[in-house]
Chain A
Amino acid sequence: MIVISGIGWISKKKYGCVKKAVCRGYTDIKSLHSKLQNESIFLYPVKNFGRFDMTSKMACCAGALALHDAGVKYSEKRKQDIGIIGTNTDGCLRSNLNYFKDYVQTGRKLARGNLFIYTLPSSSLAEAAIHFGFQCPLLYIMFPQKQVSSLLQYVEGIISRKEASTVLAMKVDEKKAVCFVLSGEDDSSSK
């Protein structure tokens, strides 16, 4: 049996955790980041957070909220066998546009490596995996419909097949995110 041990979410002006019944407001992503640091929801500073694209910022924040809700600890010094699977509706379309428009505006002479890094649908998940130290499968999966239920069903398969004992599953884009911590029942009972 698979259990959901924590859920974190971010909407346009609010963020929260389900189990811990947290629901608070924020003004912009910078303020959200500060709040999560001040509330010790981020257990240590996110390296290079300011340079991330918006989806990566949201992925890190939503991941921290879900892990906080589930009581899963992570550390800079220890890597863990946890997977990260993400979805959304349009890959990284906004980041693709930001990068290519910037390149065209410079006269098609100079592309910015820092913007190019985020032109993969998996980049935001990778930033989260690096921060949290997660070493199991990292996949962006796009489902044509019912994204959240399809994502949860997919992750259930990954856990059942023992590809990872715990998975951070998130639907994330530039504006909103919801993130779940899923585990096999045996693995979650000790947390």
Chain B
Amino acid sequence: MKHSRTNMHAPEAVVVACDLITPYGLGIDACWNGLLSGKTAINPLDRFDTDVFQTKKAATIAELKTGQSDSLVMQMLKPLLEKASAIIPKDALLILATTTGEIDILEKQVLNAKDNADESAPGYLLEKVQCLSGIKAPGIIVSAACTSSSSAIAQAGAMIRSKEHDCVLIVACDIVSEFVFAGFSSLMALDKDTARPFDKNRSGLSLGEAAGFVLVMSKERAIQEERSIIGEIAGWGLTNDANHMTGPSRDGSGLALAMRKAMRSADISEDAVGCIAAHGTGTMYNDAMEMKAFKSVFASGALPTYSIKGGIGHTMGAAGLVETIVALRSLREKLVPPTVNLLVADDEAEGWVSTEPDSFDNPVTISINAGFGGVNSALVLKKGNRQ
């Protein structure tokens, strides 16, 4: 690729700040410690009536309350961005990543027999996020199903490497709503208990909600501003299966292609990768497809692999960003978090995933996502210099 790391004049894209809120609580420590504890945050749901659905469980954030003046999304974003606004440069490009945004506004309008749900349209949310972040220009929204935020991070990396921008703020958010819960249930995609990624007896995903941000800068600017570098977005690959709307390509070739593109973009070989942050939803077909892709790319043997979706559920458009932040923490600690809810690894995943935390040597993680429509993303993440 023209702008791969072999081009010595191409700036490195580094993460200088990040934060998140997940069903484990506010902040990275809460999420990291929750995962290491091995306890799931997927619990019975009381936000709406779940009697008719496939499951009564999801991973929600206890502090979020329906019926407030702020949407659930804004209740997640306000504490994060108000705290961070002082460290966010006003000239940053804002990229908002989401699948359904403030869908609870639409729910309320329809349930109250009103016919104006325009305020649930993504443009309104973009304006609110711009105000919260203090960024001058309005920014853009990136949406690509469950790869939304990882695709947004990839785009940020590409823009920095090509010198189109030297600072990009990526904000991601999605909520557990009746809207999506009923939809996933109708597709028979939900586990009746809790998601068990890569388990022999897995039977579906659990929905979760989260929000977070990642501030990415050129390394040059980060050094000039004396920012500590949390990690590097070293490479990326985005592909599409072009196969089916709701099912991944069974052979995993689309995802494998994304991973190969990401490694080529990072100018590394398979040997350099120390760990895989899997998508690992817990559905039969997704996890099988991923293992095929992993084995195709890393043919020489198993790599430490984990999914966080047994802990916080599938956070949809926010999943890639949350997983990037967790992967950066994992690189810092040189620790692979356990795959929460795993009981007995599927035959194909045996030797790759674990119920226990594990160490790893090479400070490079490949973080992957896949979603509706056959979209695939892969990010190569490297450890930063923060002590």
DSSP majority for the A interface? mixed
Complex Cα spacing A144 to B243, Å = 31
Residue of B nearest to A118 (CB): B245
Residue of B nearest to A157 (CB): B164
Contact B159 A157 (CB under 8 A): yes
Question: Looking at A119, A125, A138, which has the most chain B CB atoms within 10 Å of its CB?
Answer: A138
A104 to chain B, nearest CB (A): 6
- B375 interface contact, C-beta 8 A: yes
Complex Cα spacing A140 to B107, Å = 23
Find chain A residues with CB under 8 A from B242 CB: 79, 129-130, 132-135
Report if A96-B120 is in contact (Cβ < 8 Å); known contacts: A135-B242, A136-B240, A143-B140.
yes
Report if A136-B183 is in contact (Cβ < 8 Å); known contacts: A121-B122, A122-B373, A130-B245.
no
Complex Cα spacing A137 to B237, Å = 8
Pick from B106, B155, B375: contact of A122, CB below 8 A.
Answer: B375
A interface residues, how many (CB within 8 angstroms): 53
Contact B123 A139 (CB under 8 A): no
Pick from B121, B162, B257: contact of A91, CB below 8 A.
Answer: B121
Contact B123 A142 (CB under 8 A): yes
Report if A139-B144 is in contact (Cβ < 8 Å); known contacts: A130-B243, A134-B242.
yes
Question: Looking at A112, A113, A135, which has the most chain B CB atoms within 10 Å of its CB?
Answer: A135
- B372 interface contact, C-beta 8 A: yes
B interface residues, how many (CB within 8 angstroms): 60
Complex Cα spacing A84 to B140, Å = 17
Pick from B49, B126, B151, B372: contact of A139, CB below 8 A.
Answer: B151
Determine, out of B110-118, B270-278, B325-333, B335-343, the stretch whose residues face the partner at the interface. B110-118
Complex Cα spacing A129 to B245, Å = 10
Complex Cα spacing A103 to B100, Å = 17
Residue of B nearest to A139 (CB): B144
Residue of A nearest to B101 (CB): A91
Which residues 117-144 of B sit at the A interface, judged by CB distance below 8 A? 117-118, 120-123, 126-127, 138-144
Contact A103 B373 (CB under 8 A): no
Complex Cα spacing A161 to B257, Å = 18
Pick from A93, A99, A130: contact of B120, CB below 8 A.
Answer: A93
- A191 interface contact, C-beta 8 A: no
Contact B178 A129 (CB under 8 A): no
Find chain B residues with CB under 8 A from A162 CB: 1-3
Contact B240 A138 (CB under 8 A): yes
Find chain B residues with CB under 8 A from A136 CB: 238-240
Which residues 106-137 of A sit at the B interface, judged by CB distance below 8 A? 108-113, 116-117, 119-123, 125-127, 129-130, 132-137
B 143-158 binary contact with A (CB < 8 Å = 1; else 0)? 1110000010001001
Contact B183 A91 (CB under 8 A): no
A 78-103 binary contact with B (CB < 8 Å = 1; else 0)? 01000010000111010011011101
Complex Cα spacing A163 to B158, Å = 9
Residue of A nearest to B372 (CB): A120
15 residue pairs bridging A and B, Cβ less than 8 Å apart: A89-B121, A93-B106, A103-B179, A116-B183, A117-B245, A123-B373, A133-B242, A134-B240, A135-B239, A135-B242, A139-B238, A141-B141, A144-B123, A157-B158, A161-B1
Known: A99-B183, A121-B122, A129-B374. 13 other contacts (CB 8 A): A89-B121, A93-B117, A100-B110, A109-B52, A121-B141, A126-B372, A130-B243, A137-B240, A140-B144, A141-B141, A143-B140, A144-B127, A161-B162
Q: Which residues of A contact B (CB under 8 A)?
A: 79, 84, 89-91, 93, 96-97, 99-101, 103-104, 108-113, 116-117, 119-123, 125-127, 129-130, 132-145, 150, 154, 157-158, 160-163
